A and B are shown apart, each in its own frame.
Chain A
Amino acid sequence: MMNKKFSISTILILAGVCLLLLFPVMSDDLYLITVFSIALIYAVYAASWDLLSGFTGKENFGHAAFIAIGAYMLGFISQHFAIPPYLSVPLAALLSFIFGILIGLPTLRLKGPYFALATLAVASIMEKLTYSFSDVTGGEDGLYGIEFLTGDEISSFYFVLIFAIIAIFVLYSIGKSNFGLTLKAIKSDDDAARALGINTDRFKVLAFGISAAFAGMAGTISGHYYSYVGPDIVYPLSLNIIIMCVVGGLGGIIPAALGGFALSFLSEMLRDFGDWNQLIYSGILMIIVIFLPRGVFNILGDFLKFRRKDSAGVSVKGERR
């Protein structure tokens, strides 16, 4: 009876990963390969948001700030000398981790709308500064001349794919670990967790740092991928990421990552519809929040599960008041 519950979903996900791995062998459609690469970066953005916000219930409305740290760090360095991904990615992880902790420390006690506004403010301040200090940041035009991820589209695709698999797997493992369980306890009731001796502040700040580190790494990879860093590919992400995670489903990393992958793929496919694209996108969001608030992939996952907990529920015979 054990382990049956995840088998079908796991097999489907593994099959999907295999399909992606084999895709360049089966098809030479470079356009689709590019679309997949970008969708994979979005999957990491969404998964990293989920670890902080989906697990602890603190909705980060300024995730783009962390992405910007990774992306602009790469942009600055590249103005002076070419930096290859194997150096820039770890550096981005470190820098974003520290930045995440610095933002996490003062804001971790804020709740609900206060936290939302504080994080929104951080990202907005960074965006405004990006425009104001255009001699350093390139302003609206952004920064060019960044070393490409690899020499060609196909190897870049594999680079992104392997990065995404590792990042999402690590985030998933963190979520499944005792650390992730503690974050869920904090989301449910901070005081109750403290009463059991858990230093909830430390967990929250650490979750901030880890979430920021992965967002920053993905931001750097996107900079290498486009060979460009600019406000248009960073700052609108805060909201898009929340939409992806809510549509996919919160608190499980994989559903959020799938939401990120699927929605950015969908949005690329809808690109021909021009303005309709974003209209449909925000319309879908509203409908999903009303009718499927647990998220598409969470619900799909439950549907594929053998529901173990119901069979155990029979033994509860206590009276309800």
Chain B
Amino acid sequence: MNILSVEKLLKQFGGLKAVNEVSFTVEKGEKLGILGPNGAGKTTLFNLITGFRKSDAGEVLFEGKSIMGFSPEKIANMGLVRTFQIVKPFKELSVYDNLKIATLSPKMKKEIKNENQRKSWIEKIADMSELTDVLNVNVELLPHGFLKKLEVAKALAVNPKLILLDEPFAGLTHQEIDPISRVISRANEVNGTTIILIEHRLKEFMKLVERVVAIDYGEKIAEGTPGEIINNPKVIESYLGKGGADLVNS
């Protein structure tokens, strides 16, 4: 069953088509990757799907229902949650409070009955996201790797059905990527959360996702399994370059 289907989504900035009639679908429980060079329109696509920007034409269906024109908070309350490329921790607060804020939406107010439940839910998310050790630490003291992890954990704390991750590995070392990658897989396997991932760290990206949609200049240029994508001539030309496949396989 499709949890999300995007149909001919269009967004223009002046004369530039940032997202040009892109269509794709995502199945429930799937891990989909979106690939493309910088400026290809990936983040704009996320902004359109989650209501942070209004699209000019097209349709987005979430669980079969149109969510066009909905506000970001309404979409999040339906269970479609995004993260941001640039970390956005809630400043001057502890990790615990950051996660707590994620449980204060109308959606979570329905799912959480009392403060005890809230506490155990936050602790469960922290445990799942490998943040238990730093739960009481002020976010200003956290290294970048932890903030990236917190970004994912905040989204998970909303108990989402589908989560859109915008470059969760950007700027991290390999040792820092591993735990975040584990957190994402765990959310998918344990909670059944559907994942859509934008990432430039190809090796980790290809390992994590099951299917890839490649876009360039706002248009979808290819779709397929990671194996198919790295051998697709269009993708090689626009993004991977010669020897790109070797890079991924190495």
Q: Report the stretch among A81-89, A115-123, A180-188 that lies at the interface.
A: A180-188
Majority secondary structure of chain A interface residues (helix, strand, loop or mixed): helix
CA distance A185 to B105 in the complex (A): 12
Residues of B within 8 Å of A309, CB to CB, are: 94, 136-138, 141
Q: A182-B101, A318-B176 are in contact. Are A194 and B76 (CB under 8 A)?
A: yes
Q: Is A192 an interface residue (CB 8 A)?
A: yes
How would residues 286 to 312 of chain A score, 1 for a CB under 8 Å from any chain B CB and 0 otherwise? Answer: 000000000000000000000011001
A-B pairs with beta carbons under 8 A, tally: 115
Q: Is A140 an interface residue (CB 8 A)?
A: no
A188 touches B136 (CB 8 A): no
CA distance A199 to B108 in the complex (A): 13
Most buried by B among A182, A196, A320: A196
Q: Report the stretch among B11-19, B33-41, B84-92, B198-206 that lies at the interface.
A: B84-92
CA distance A189 to B89 in the complex (A): 8
Residues of A within 8 Å of B155, CB to CB, are: 195-196
Most buried by B among A193, A197, A321: A197
Residues of A within 8 Å of B93, CB to CB, are: 181, 184-185, 188
Q: Is B194 an interface residue (CB 8 A)?
A: no
Q: A191-B52, A192-B84, A194-B71 are in contact. Are A199 and B143 (CB under 8 A)?
A: no
A181 touches B104 (CB 8 A): yes
Instruction: State the interface size on chain B (CB cutoff 8 A).
Output: 47
CA distance A200 to B101 in the complex (A): 12
A195 touches B72 (CB 8 A): yes
User: A137-193: which residues lie under 8 A (CB-CB) from chain B?
Assistant: 178, 181-182, 184-185, 188-189, 191-193
B101 touches A316 (CB 8 A): no
Q: Is A198 an interface residue (CB 8 A)?
A: yes
Q: Is B245 an interface residue (CB 8 A)?
A: no
B143 touches A198 (CB 8 A): no
CA distance A302 to B102 in the complex (A): 27
Q: Is A27 an interface residue (CB 8 A)?
A: no
CB distance from B45 to the nearest CB of A (A): 15
Q: Please give me the residue from chain A that is nearest to B51 by CB atom.
A: A194
Q: Is A3 an interface residue (CB 8 A)?
A: no
B73 touches A194 (CB 8 A): yes
A: residues with CB less than 8 A from B are 178, 181-182, 184-185, 188-189, 191-200, 251, 308-309, 312-313, 315-316, 318-321
Pick the 10 closest A-B CB pairs, nearest first.
Answer: A197-B105, A197-B76, A192-B88, A318-B143, A188-B91, A197-B77, A194-B72, A188-B90, A185-B101, A318-B145
Q: 12 new A-B pairs (CB below 8 Å) besides A188-B93, A191-B84?
A: A188-B89, A191-B88, A192-B84, A192-B154, A194-B72, A194-B73, A197-B108, A309-B136, A315-B134, A315-B137, A316-B137, A316-B142
Q: Could you jot down 27 A-B contacts, CB within 8 Å?
A: A181-B101, A182-B101, A184-B93, A185-B93, A188-B88, A188-B92, A189-B90, A191-B84, A192-B154, A195-B52, A195-B83, A196-B81, A197-B76, A197-B81, A197-B107, A198-B104, A199-B73, A308-B136, A309-B94, A309-B138, A312-B137, A315-B133, A316-B133, A316-B137, A319-B143, A320-B144, A321-B144
